[in-house]
Structure 1
Amino acid sequence: MTETQDTENKLIAERRAKLTQIREQRNAFPNSFRRNAYAQDLHNELGENGKDELEQLDRRAAVAGRIMAKRGPFLVLQDMSGRIQAYVDKKKLPEQQLPEIKTWDIGDIIGCEGPVHKSGKGDLYVYMDSVELLTKSLRPLPDKFHGLQDQEMRYRQRYVDLIVSDESRDVFKLRSKMISFMRRYLDNADFMEVETPMMQVIPGGATARPFVTHHNSLDMDMYLRVAPELYLKRLVVGGFERVYEINRNFRNEGLSTRHNPEFTMLEFYQSYADYKELMDLTEDMLREMAKALLGTTILLNTVKNEDGEIVQEKHYDLSQPFTRISVFDSILHFNPDISAEALADEQAARQIAEHLDIPLKDGYGLGKVHIEIFEKTVEHRLDQPTFITEYPTEVSPLARRNDSNPMVTDRFEFFVGGREIANGFSELNDAEDQAERFLAQVKEKAAGDDEAMHYDADYVAALEYGLPPTAGEGIGIDRLVMLFSDSPSIRDVLLFPHMRPQN
């Protein structure tokens, strides 16, 4: 046992002893106190009043929160909105209660009531004439000056991280506001929010390796969804022409700063629209969201060293029209030594990939080779908001072929800061073409590709009833929050990210 652990165990033992003493005297966990004000509301309402004005106003408030600091006779309380002080006056509180108040620790949760005053320094406080311990905290909080320094423990014990870190709380408040904004935006555009199955007989809608579970009563394997796409398009066939779902998806992939096996997507579909109109919608929605929630269209991205010092700073400008460029042209743009003629020839393109140390499988066609080169040489360099368009048909099994070039599809992916944020396309509504592409995916799966799609006969049947011309898109909410909150890892924007067990 380390010295730190030994000290912490002693503090926990002392707090347990205090709780035992409280239990002997009364109910240690009362639930009768009711507050009538939050800290920030009091600051907003009374913060501009002077000291004398507040005394004359005699505005009483009942507040509740966690003790975050003790400053002489003042207790600093924290609730969900912010912090406010509470003043302990020995002459005003019951004499028999004073000894217990002295035993209260940082982290304890109390409720108190009294008039709101202002100190000589200009700080609001509640001049308590009644106070009650509501919850005894048995574990000490991290050092108030350093917070929870261990990054892994911040993820494992998010509840502690949220108590001590204003920055963490701000990230998750922003996340909630972003999701609410997207809902309002789509609702106002006449989209309908729906829910689709999370357990599916056939995992479809994305090329990804699924998680497998088992239904005991039916005695059958099922899959956690990798995407809601095929079910949402079934609804479009049924006549719901504008639908969206904010959904949890599950993909059996590795962990990284950009990947978590469980993640959140916004997926939406609009009939009688194409992928270009969805690019317009995405650009407008993100720009308006930045204005509404951040007060600016300039997003800041910082890189910090181990000491937390900023060593690099970038700005992403959402106010300017987003760049739109095809996969093919982007490769040429970022690789001036590659010619268009060589890139268009499969054998020459394979030689380019080999020169770049990109491993290729025998079954890869020209489109797949292009994507491998793109991911190696282009993707990480797409800093400013960019739509990459015209993805090869070979890697786009659900997207509509381009009318002038059947080798590519009417599809885009959206990138900022070298990260893919969104994927959208004009939907493939030719049932026979879709059946052929599913069969091609089945062959790839048989050849060992765990991420290839299954053949979904029911979805093909739905298309045979007729899917109107439609465009659809998925936006990765976790990565979008990373972008808006300047967070370096997806774990920073997930309340409870997946971690390996400690033991």
Structure 2
Amino acid sequence: MNTSPGPESDWRPSATLEVLKLRARLLERTRAFFSARGVLEVETPALSGAATTDPALASFATRYTGPRFPQGQTLYLHTSPEFPMKRLLAAGSGSIYQICKVFRDGEAGRQHNPEFTLLEWYRVSFDHHRLMDETGELVMDLLAPPLSLQPPERLTYREAFQRHAGLDPFAASADEFGQAARMHGISVSPELVSEQAPGAWLDLLLTHVVEPKLGQRRLTFIYDYPASQAALARIQPGNPPVAARFELYLNGIELANGFHELADVDEHRRRFERQLHARKTGKLPAVPMDERLLAALAHGLPDCAGVALGFDRLVMLACGARTINDVLTFPLERA
């Protein structure tokens, strides 16, 4: 039974006029921030012949039939503008940013809408530590006022787990992971303890125990992620090796995800192939690899760091909204 309101009552926007005006001001200030730093605003296509291979993300697919493709061509709405922006970087664009709508199937909830606004930028000659500096400057500029925040803090992934989950994520045994979960009120059956892979334990404890405690009245950056969670970030050698990656939290909400970008085209292809294998194993839809991106990387990606920031969540924090619907004009239920 469909209990959502009908067209006669849900034609109005979800966000108030005051919130829409705040959103417009934050967009204006974001553009002023990058203009003052000489970062070029760009636009790239929302539709692509390739899709993200990441098994954690689901692309919307559509079908085009017409000139150039009379037999039809499957196209994918982007989950991020990352790949075409990297093609621009390889073509010599210099530092760039983009504010755009992105699309992720299967994502709806208090902090998720399948169509949302992403702010993504890339800084040539930056590493992820320098990009953390700039990300903190931008978010502090946009949120103060109205929020009064303490100075940002930085914790390694290991420090965050030791402080909030009471274990070392790189050294804990299956029994220790299970004990930590139960200690924090997560019900785990004994037979499941030995079956869970370390990555599954880390995801469970991060989302249910660590994340809710991050960024209380201050920006909190988490960095030095496990190498297994590098995505498309560089791997830094060490014991253990870690990913040159960071995430930003405020009031338990993840705001941004950044990398010191991987430039090695061969390693890129290997990671894409591993992701495609994981999709097949998990019985997820097969998707085409982005060969144009790989060709651009073969030409040469400049040393750079990039970050994607959820703009709707930023607006939520700025106005104290409880759900993402409160800062969108027409969310999924009213689109």
User: TM (normalized to structure 1)?
Assistant: 0.58
Q: Please list every run of 5 or more consecutive structure 2 residues that lacks an aligned counterpart in the other structure.
A: none
Match of 1:287 among 137, 140, 147: 140
Q: Which digits, 9 at most, give the CA deviation of each residue in 1:294-352, with x for residues without a partner?
A: 3x541xxxxxxxxxxxxxxxxxx1xx32111122221111123x3x3x75145446645
Shift, 1:267, TM fit: 0.4
Shift of 1:370: 1.9
Deviations 1:356-383 (A, max 9, x none): 4469899975345323321121111212
1:84-99 maps to which residues of 2 (within 5 A)?
A: none
In structure 1, how many angstroms separate the alpha carbons of the residues matched to 2:284 and 2:258? 23
Identity of aligned residues (%): 31
Match in the other structure for 1:210: 59
1:156 aligns to 2:10 (yes or no) = yes
Cα contact 1:322–1:387 (8 A) shared by 2 = yes
| Aligned with 1:474 (options 283, 293, 308) | 308
Alpha-carbon distance between aligned partners in 1 of 2:153 and 2:6, rounded to the nearest angstrom? 37
Aligned 8 A contact 2:51 2:289 in 1 = no
3-state SS in 2 of match to 1:248: strand
Query: Contact 2:170 / 2:240 at 8 angstroms: preserved in 1?
Result: no
- 8 Å Cα contact 1:393/1:399 also seen in 2: no
Partner of 1:241: 94
Instruction: Write the letter of the residue equivalent to 1:251.
Output: R
How many residues matched? 320
In structure 1, list runs of 5 or more residues that go unmatched. Answer: 1-149, 163-167, 299-316
Alpha-carbon distance in 1 for matches of 2:131, 2:302: 16
Out of 55, 59, 81, the residue aligned to residue 228 of structure 1 is 81
Q: What residue in structure 1 maps to residue 233 of structure 2? A: 399
Q: Is the Cα–Cα contact under 8 Å of residues 349 and 369 in structure 1 kept in the other structure?
A: no
State which of 316, 320, 324 in structure 2 corresponds to 1:486.
Answer: 320
The amino acid of 1:374's aligned partner reads L
* Alpha-carbon spacing, 1:426–1:343, altered in 2? closer, same or farther (3 Å): closer
Larger Rg: 1
CA distance in 2, matches of 1:452, 1:333: 40
Match of 1:250 among 90, 93, 103: 103
Of 15, 35, 38, which residue of structure 2 is paired with 1:190? 38
Structure 2 counterpart of 1:460, which letter? L
State the 1:283 CA deviation.
1.2
CA deviations over 1:152-184 (Å, ceiling 9, x no partner): 99992325x78xxxxx21111000110111111
Counterparts of 1:293-372 in structure 2, within 5 Å, are 294=145, 296-298=146-148, 317=149, 320-336=150-166, 338=167, 340=168, 343-345=170-172, 347-348=174-175, 351-352=178-179, 355=182, 356-357=186-187, 366-372=198-204
**Alignment partners' CA distance in 1, 2:22 and 2:6:** 22
SS of equivalent residue, structure 1 residue 409: strand
What is the CA deviation profile of residues 423-465 of structure 1, one whole-angstrom value per residue up to 9, with x for unaligned ones?
Answer: 1110011112111111110110011164998533332221111
Distance 1:422 1:449, change over 3 A: farther
Shift of 1:498: 1.0
Per-residue deviation, residues 229-261 of structure 1 (Å, max 9, x unmatched): 011111111111201110100000242111100
Contact conserved, 2:79 with 2:103, CA < 8 A, in 1?
A: yes
Assess if the C-alpha contact under 8 Å between 1:246 and 1:266 holds in 2: yes
C-alpha deviation, 1:276, in angstroms = 0.8
Q: Which residue pairs with 1:374 in the alignment?
A: 206
For residues 240 and 334 of structure 1, do their structure 2 counterparts lie closer, same or farther at Cα, with a shift above 3 Å needed?
A: same
Residue 171 in structure 1 maps to residue 25 in structure 2: no
The aligned residue for residue 116 of structure 2 is 263
Q: Secondary structure at the match of 1:344?
A: coil
Label 1:325 to 1:254 Cα distance change in 2 as closer, same or farther (>3 A): same
Q: Provide the rounded CA distance (Å) in 2 between the counterparts of 1:209 and 1:353.
A: 31
What is the alpha-carbon root mean square deviation over aligned residues? 3.0
Q: Does the Cα contact within 8 Å between 1:397 and 1:434 map onto a contact in 2?
A: no
Higher normalized contact order (CA 8 Å, seq sep 6+, divided by chain length): 2
One-letter identity of the residue aligned with 1:208: L
TM-score (norm 2): 0.85
SS in 1 for 2:83: helix
**1:107-186 equivalent positions in 2, closer than 5 A:** 156-158=10-12, 168-186=16-34
